Copies of this chain bind each other. A is one copy, B any other.
């Protein structure tokens, strides 16, 4: 989850998994596991991209994009992902909220490049 940056998503509709979380103190293997989960998510059918950031206060938001709700459910059933979520509840997170949402419309802005 170290990759800062934007997901290149197709035209809507598609789905977003909005994961807001408050980390506990200390790394406790979190960084390596988060990187592994980002890698594993990217291999899932229907994965469209991910955006993730966390402030110095330990509050973070990750949004993963998928083509269908069924592919989100399949990712939830992935055994390695399920084991990581279990460890997340035991060790890494004080609190999290997960929201599954259907992206209806999207637009963007990029500043002109000045050389």
- A8-23 near B? 1/0 per residue, CB < 8 Å: 0100100010101010
Within 8 A of B (CB), among A42-98: 51-57, 59-61, 63, 69, 88-89, 93-98
Residue of A53, A95, A104, A105 with highest tally of chain B CB at under 10 A: A53
Report yes or no: B98 in contact with A110, Cβ–Cβ below 8 A. Answer: no
Chain B nearest CB: distance from A60 CB in Å?
Answer: 6
User: So how many copies of this chain end up in the complex?
Assistant: 2
Chain B nearest CB: distance from A55 CB in Å?
Answer: 4
CB-defined contacts of A69 to chain B, threshold 8 Å? 104
- Cα A6 to Cα B59 in complex, Å, equals 9
Report yes or no: A5 in contact with B59, Cβ–Cβ below 8 A. Answer: yes
